[in-house]
Amino acid sequence: MKMERRQFLKGMALGAAGIGFVSDALASPPEVAPLPMAPAVNTTSDPELELALLRTRHFNEHLPGDAYLDPTQFRILESTVRRLERLQQVVGYGNFYLLDFDEALKVAAEKPRVGLFTRAELDFMEMIFHETATTYGFMGKKPLKNLTERTPRQEIVKVPFTGNFLFKGQAVEVYRRIRRDVGDQAVLTSGVRSVPKQFLLFLTKAYEASGNLSLASRSLAPPGYSFHGVGDFDVGQVGFGEANFTARFVESDVFRRLRECGYVQMRYPQDNLLGVRFEPWHIKVVA
Ligand SMILES: [Zn+2]
């Protein structure tokens, strides 16, 4: 894999580490806090930090030091993305959120329209899953350790009218409180995601970015690294469309209310040092 090691980023993910979703903070509405930012830093004194901030602020651009797949890997990436897309069409968008890796292989084998994953595609997915994402600049934790991790159906619920699922317990409870405190304008935009779903999202982004894994990982956690696999979810404002997944979301009434009600304890705050864009819509449930 043609990758530039970026060791200098190691150990820098400190700023955001202490900012967590604290469930008992919801018991009594906290005072409105300023937007969660990483601690102020003098960016001129530390070129490495400056580069880290450049990455989160210009997340969707090709930047110096980004890691790319080589041309052979890029062709395998493309065929993998196409197969996962066909798989999603065959099982249905909603079901694909829950489909684990072994089930994906089974459906691919049974449905000629999908077709068997090739050895090269399987090796490629194993490599992407097991490659340490810090290699290409993603500094977040990895809550799912196994490629074949499954979402137990008895532990999740479908959320009516959203096409999405949430984990029972804390995630459902937090969503219920958000709807109560913020109102019906707040809606679940993305909940539980299986490993194959996260593969499709991450690899599609990498494909659109000409095989730039660093660029892809600044917008989408690599498979295994997404907290959507263990309880986190995204909320948006009804009618806000694609803007729900852009920095413009902070201008919405829903975000203002989320902030007033104390839900804006984000996993990926502004200027985080995890190599991830600012995601004000992402609700951190799991510590
Ligand atoms: Zn999210």
The alpha carbon of 161 and the centre of ligand 1 are apart by a number of angstroms equal to 19
Tell me which residues of the chain have a pLDDT lower than 70. 1-44, 265
Cβ(168)–Cβ(157) under 8 Å?
A: yes
214 CA to middle of ligand 1, Å? 18
pLDDT of residue 44: 58
Q: Report residue 205: phi and psi, to 5°.
A: -65, -45
Distance from the alpha carbon of residue 190 to the mean position of ligand 1, in angstroms:
7
What is the pTM (predicted TM-score) of this model?
0.83
In DSSP terms, 68 is beta-bridged to: 212
Distance 234 CA to ligand 1 centre (A): 5
Say how many Å lie between the CA of residue 197 and the centre of ligand 1.
13
Tell me how many degrees the CA angle 88-91-94 measures, rounded to the nearest 5. Answer: 75
Span from the CA of 210 to the centroid of ligand 1 (angstroms):
23
Q: What is the pLDDT of residues 23-44, one digit of tens each?
A: 333 333 344 444 545 545 444 5
What does the DSSP assignment read for 111-176? Answer: -TTT-PPPHHHHHHHHHHHHS-GGGGT-----S---TT----GGGEEEETTTTEEEETTHHHHHHH
Rounded to the nearest angstrom, the distance between the alpha carbon of 282 and the centre of ligand 1 is: 4
- Output the CA 110–ligand 1 centroid distance in Å: 32
Could you give all domains of the chain from N- to C-terminal order, each with its CATH number?
65-283 (3.30.1380.10)
